[in-house]
Amino acid sequence: MNLTAFLASTVLAVSPTFPAAQLQQIVDSGGASTAVLRVDAQSGAAGPVTPNAYFRIGSVTKTFVATVVLQLVDEQRVRLDDPIARYLPGVVPDGERITVRQVLDHTSGIYDYAHDPGWSTNRWRGADRFRHYEPSQLLEVAFSHPPYFPPGTGWHYSNTNYIVAGLLIERVTGRSYGAEISRRILRPLRLTQTSLPGDRPGLPSPHAPGYTSVDGKLVDATLMNPSLDWAAGEMISTTADLNRFFDALFAARLTSKAALAEMRRYVPATDLFEYGLGLQRFRLPCGTTVEGHSGQILGYTTYSTHSGSTHATLSYNPLPGGDASSAVIGVFTAIYCD
């Protein structure tokens, strides 16, 4: 099937109130090959994919990690304003001055290892995309660079922060961070379509392929070992599971109300969003704010959002050279503004 025919095949399974036209526009804009969307109990898809497709959630993983850390805060095993060195002595340079809170809200100043060439899952890495990486290797890259700023004096998104957060969970609990996410979140909420793949390069079926461009040619980038992202972005899920997760989170069924309030203490970040503890707060063009998290990993872009009683998760497969941003804004505007 050539690309034109590939993009022309479409499946939609929605009610009349679902923003189907806006969802379809993501594909019609040329910015994506497929897109799936769930708004509360309604789901739909555009392009050759089913609404229940699996996808890589990238940095939405960070919300799961932050939730476990806040559960440990509730259990009085971690304190947000303690230095990270109390829990990980000798691991983080200047860790006596960097707090757990600053790790979770990206005000630590720690350099992002993913900014180094060849160390980002948002870039084509050839055969290296199947390599296994240890968290210690990621920290070694990060700590070979000076920090962006002294702790607490600025904001800079850094995947390294959540490698540190994953290690914090492991040191405090004595179990892998993935085992704790499964034990504390996935099993209680019955998120059976959500997983931490580790070294497994594939996705469960059904799923849409992700693409990138290599030497001007469209290349299937679906398969990769996501250990390079580890606790910063390795997870796989579906729109239904992510909506269920955020519904439980914002209803304070995963943490205490006090811990949830700490997660929602947002600091200025970018022109697009503010950042809390594993949460982003976006302001739509109509003035409405939505909370949740976004995620990007080569071939997959995800937004899982919440406002009031509405939960909406969108995931799409961006195409090289395309721009789906206006169409994506149109989807969320239709959901939360219209």
For 80-92, what is each residue's pLDDT tens digit? 999 999 999 999 9
pTM metric for this prediction: 0.95
pLDDT given for residue 9 in this prediction: 38
pLDDT given for residue 46 in this prediction: 98
pLDDT given for residue 248 in this prediction: 98
For 42-86, what is each residue's pLDDT tens digit? 999 999 999 999 999 999 999 999 999 999 999 999 999 999 999
DSSP string, 272-296: SEEE-SS-EEEE-TTS-EEEEEEEE
CA 313 remoteness from chain centre: 11
Active site (catalytic) residues: 59
pLDDT band at 8 (very low <50, low <70, confident <90, very high): very low
247 sits in which H/E element: helix 239-250
For 229-272, what is each residue's pLDDT tens digit? 999 999 999 999 999 999 999 999 999 999 999 999 999 999 99
Residue 176's identity, in one-letter code, is: S
**Rounded Cα gap, residues 114 and 284, in angstroms:** 28
pLDDT given for residue 5 in this prediction: 38
For the segment 177-190, the average pLDDT, to the nearest whole number, is 98
Q: What is the mean pLDDT of the chain?
A: 95
pLDDT given for residue 14 in this prediction: 46
Higher local confidence (pLDDT), 14 or 244: 244
